[in-house]
Structure 1
Amino acid sequence: MPTTTSHPPRYSATPRRRRAALLAAGASLLLPLAAAAPALAVPAPGPSGSPALSPGASTKPGASATPGKAADGKAKPPPKRLPPAKMSTVGGELLGRPGPQVQLGPGAPELPRDLSGNSWLVADAETGDILAANNAHWQLPPASTLKMLFADTVLPRFPKTQKHQVKPSDMEGMGEGSSQVGMKEGLTYSVHDMWMGVFLRSGNDAVHTLSAMNGGVAKTVRDMQDHADELQAEDTHVVTPDGYDAEGQVSSAYDLTLFARSGLQKADFREYCSTARAQFPDEDHPGKTKEIVNTNRLLTGQDGVPAYKGMAGVKNGSTTNAGNTFTGVAQHDGKKLLVTVMNPETKERNQVYKETQLLLDWGFEAVGHVKPVGVLVPPKGGFPADKGGTTDGQSPQGAQAAVTGGGDGMWTAVGLTGGALAVLAVAGFVVNRRHPLPERGRRRAGHAAPPKNPQNPPSDPPQD
């Protein structure tokens, strides 16, 4: 086999017949190797979906393999971060291996080629079966997708109607450049308002205020870590409640998907994460409200990203260390999928949403045609029964639960009445079967429909 050297090999003037004989012999040696290659040994894709090159490698014949130098001798960017050779095997042995893992069956589509996420995962939200994954247990900075764990931990502790006047100490410790919904010291907010700020605007001011109500940031971090341990999210180490970059704070595509699946057991969580627009107290005009728009582009159809049919949440994030992260849930024709994508290497605007859409499209086509590569494990104590799941003891307005067939019996769908906000209802996870999300993206929570061409929301802040 030829090797890459600093100088291209020199070939002597070999007679034509001899060259032909050498080529034939080489081919005969390569054929058995090709036949012996495992069918599913897929090299990790590079930024454009092509196999990733090892550090110092070059696609040009005879190029120098000296690390840190390109063929022309100029300095080149540092090599792409590589996943650990061995990772956690929670959920299945294949999930501990680096690179894409998929077991295609008859009629299964090939994985999308244009995937650059350092880590991603596609799972059946009903059964927990993982249809495909890439570095599922790679511990990476999670950004604001960690707010799913924050909400799943803290949301049940306060009635949504409870009021709280913000004190100066409530918002201490927020990181520089944090995304905020616009809370102001001295003003009073309902718990419901604050959760809208957490989910729609990724408001770290709302997170820190709710943390203060919960006994402080340090206690909230401990509570979140305890809950992550209960969910068997062993890749997660919590340092901040809001996902802001902090040394040692990590999670994984696997764990983030566990947080989403656990949160979706709660009716309030489902309501907040599926709300496209809502009214929030205006800090500059006390007594009045302003409209806030969910930064989840696949839910709202904003910033050049079309709303994804059947999308119902869950949470996006973006920080310097984490890059862009996203966990989404959607339903098509009775199939319910969860997808998580962490830090796409392709640094194009909205790339995390594009790759999520590719994986959702693939997953809906692949369900029933692939052998699972793992499973989302249940909490240590199992999933608790959802008896309404709201923090005010009332059922979500306009939601009528109806148990669906199939699955493990814990999933239900919701029928909508009037103009009520679409939510995912009792006993687990709810998405309307008739794909109402594009319409939902045009509604305000509890208000009349906004203009047909609403102003786009601000771009994702650099630290949310």
Structure 2
Amino acid sequence: MPPPMKILRRSPLVAAAVLTAVSPLALAVPAAQAAPGPEASPSASPSATPPASMSAVGGARLALPGTQVELAGGAPVLPKDLTARSWIVADAESGDVLAAHNAHWRLAPASTLKMLFADTLLPKWPRSEKHRVTPEELADLGAGSSLVGIKENETYTVEDLWRGVFLMSGNDAVHVLSAMNGGVADTVDEMNEHAAELQALDTEVVSPDGYDAPGQVSSAYDLTLFARSGMQKKDFREYASTVRAMFPGETRKDAKGKPYRKPFEIQNTNRLLRGDGDVRVYPGIAGVKNGNTTNAGATFTGVAEQGGRVLLVTVMNPAKAERNEVYKETARLFDWGFAAAGKVRPVGTLVAPRSARGPEAEGRSGPAPEPEAPGEAGGGTGAAGAGPVAGAAAADGSTGAGIAAGIAGGALALLVGTAYLVNRRWPVPDLVRRRSRP
């Protein structure tokens, strides 16, 4: 049996954690959405144009159709060649929405919905837990589903299954994990509950893998919330940033009749992470998820860090029929966002989960990250990883300049129980650096 190949992943680079109090932001109830015509699948968009009024979660500007941006002095103009029906550029830590286009338009999400699936289920099992797959768990996969290659009556670790979800967008891996969670119906219910908790109110989950289904919708705004929440989890960050890995093959017998399983390589389908022809690896990219179905077209949410700033970009359904167009438009929006940050006035905010308590809960951009349990350097439960002490040197020798200035004497106002953290930032711990590991 050949030696295992190395896993390439983009992993930790420390992000800043600066605490500031903010005023509450009133959140409007999402506006009703137009119903699809009788000839359209309910999971497709209701029309060729966005509704005149959409949800105002995150700010009134985000309820308006069309492009929303407030350029200040020296800010670059937005790229001219954007064709996506909906997109958003946001600061992952402050929650500021730098620019958006039809951010709350409810559209079919495709496999970007797997971000919500992972954010909901990752904490449930340790990575090393093993599961033997039954034929029933692989039944009812949609025709043409993306698959990682799971075989019935074979045993896989939870880590194997999550790699299948994140790297290959495997619907087979989603269905096996859903079965471990009590079934597809229970998993869908939990995903909808978690979406509501995150205030992702444009989202209705019908199929946990994002496969086209009547009534299944999300929005660029909601997908960005899912990515932002998921990036608080150590395992989520690791899986989303893995470029390639080995996956267990089917059990066979050698010439002597001895059973063996020869692994095969799987690669991340995120083209900005691994590169693909005319799409280069985007500098600082760390994930997160792409998708493509008949109703959704191409969809993608990405996270990248440059110069200590972490941005999230979501792009849904570019009209331009060019190979890799969703990645090209995402890259252009990343370029714009990094150049424009600090030179634009936010047009909205990424809201906090509902469980955030206290007078600053409404409009706060996120809760404190969960502390990581001692000894979980490799991750095991999906819990969020704790960042290093402010000012400590990173693995590459950098000192995280500017981090310590925001945190003096360990002044982290974190209260337990029913208390809350009054802050506007949601630090992304240990975000990005590409390296090899066995």
TM-score range, shorter chain: 0.7 to 0.9
Residues 194-343 of structure 1 aligned to structure 2 (within 5 Å): 194-283=161-250, 285=252, 286-343=260-317
Q: Given the alignment of the two structures, is residue 431 of structure 1 paired with residue 431 of structure 2, yes or no? A: yes
1:134/1:161 CA distance change after superposition, 3 Å: same
Counterpart of 1:219, as a letter, is D
- Within the candidate set 367, 378, 388, 1:396 is matched to 378
For 1:94 and 1:413, locate their aligned partners in 2 and report how far apart those are by CA, in whole Å: 40
Counterpart of 1:261, as a letter, is R
The runs of 5 or more residues in structure 2 that have no matched partner are 1-45, 253-259, 357-366, 380-384, 398-425
Residues 132-151 of structure 1 aligned to structure 2 (within 5 Å): 132-151=99-118
Counterpart of 1:277, as a letter, is R
1:389 deviates by: 7.1
1:185/1:126 CA distance change after superposition, 3 Å: same
1:362/1:191 CA distance change after superposition, 3 Å: same
1:401 deviates by: 4.0
- Corresponding residue of 1:90: 57
SS class of match (2:227) = helix
SS class of match (1:276) = strand
Contact in 2 for aligned 1:126/1:336 (Cα 8 Å): yes
Contact in 2 for aligned 1:312/1:431 (Cα 8 Å): yes
1:190 deviates by: 0.1
Contact in 1 for aligned 2:372/2:386 (Cα 8 Å): no
Q: Which structure has the larger Rg?
A: 1
- Corresponding residue of 2:92: 125
- Within the candidate set 71, 78, 83, 1:104 is matched to 71
Q: TM-score, normalised by structure 2?
A: 0.75
Counterpart of 2:175, as a letter, is H
SS class of match (2:261) = coil
1:276 deviates by: 0.4
Contact in 2 for aligned 1:401/1:413 (Cα 8 Å): no
Q: Given the alignment of the two structures, is residue 387 of structure 1 paired with residue 351 of structure 2, yes or no? A: no
The structure, 1 or 2, with the larger RCO (C-alpha pairs under 8 Å, 6+ apart) is 2
CA RMSD, Structure 1 to Structure 2 (Å):
2.2
SS class of match (1:371) = coil
1:427 deviates by: 6.2
Q: Deviations over 1:112-171 (max 9, x none)?
A: 001000000000011000000000000000000000000000110111110000001112
SS class of match (2:163) = helix
SS class of match (2:151) = coil
1:208/1:80 CA distance change after superposition, 3 Å: closer
Contact in 2 for aligned 1:414/1:431 (Cα 8 Å): no
For 2:127 and 2:286, locate their aligned partners in 1 and report how far apart those are by CA, in whole Å: 21
For 2:429 and 2:113, locate their aligned partners in 1 and report how far apart those are by CA, in whole Å: 20
1:403 deviates by: 4.6
For 2:368 and 2:159, locate their aligned partners in 1 and report how far apart those are by CA, in whole Å: 23
1:125/1:414 CA distance change after superposition, 3 Å: farther
Q: TM-score, normalised by structure 1?
A: 0.71
For 1:345 and 1:264, locate their aligned partners in 2 and report how far apart those are by CA, in whole Å: 29
For 2:430 and 2:84, locate their aligned partners in 1 and report how far apart those are by CA, in whole Å: 28
Counterpart of 1:294, as a letter, is N
The alignment of Structure 1 onto Structure 2 pairs a total of residues equal to 343
SS class of match (1:330) = strand
SS class of match (2:242) = coil
For 1:235 and 1:400, locate their aligned partners in 2 and report how far apart those are by CA, in whole Å: 31
The alignment-based identity, stated in percent, is 60
Contact in 1 for aligned 2:130/2:155 (Cα 8 Å): yes
The runs of 5 or more residues in structure 1 that have no matched partner are 1-78, 406-411, 418-425, 448-464
Q: Deviations over 1:303-360 (max 9, x none)?
A: 4311001000000000011000000000111111000000000010000000000000
Contact in 2 for aligned 1:313/1:330 (Cα 8 Å): yes
1:428 deviates by: 3.5
SS class of match (2:52) = coil
For 1:334 and 1:262, locate their aligned partners in 2 and report how far apart those are by CA, in whole Å: 19
Counterpart of 1:386, as a letter, is E
- Corresponding residue of 2:39: none
For 1:290 and 1:162, locate their aligned partners in 2 and report how far apart those are by CA, in whole Å: 21
1:387 deviates by: 2.0
For 2:104 and 2:394, locate their aligned partners in 1 and report how far apart those are by CA, in whole Å: 33
SS class of match (2:70) = strand
1:198/1:416 CA distance change after superposition, 3 Å: farther
Counterpart of 1:206, as a letter, is A
Counterpart of 1:402, as a letter, is P
1:172/1:330 CA distance change after superposition, 3 Å: same
SS class of match (1:151) = helix
Contact in 1 for aligned 2:237/2:431 (Cα 8 Å): no
Contact in 2 for aligned 1:401/1:415 (Cα 8 Å): no
1:403/1:374 CA distance change after superposition, 3 Å: farther
For 2:373 and 2:141, locate their aligned partners in 1 and report how far apart those are by CA, in whole Å: 30
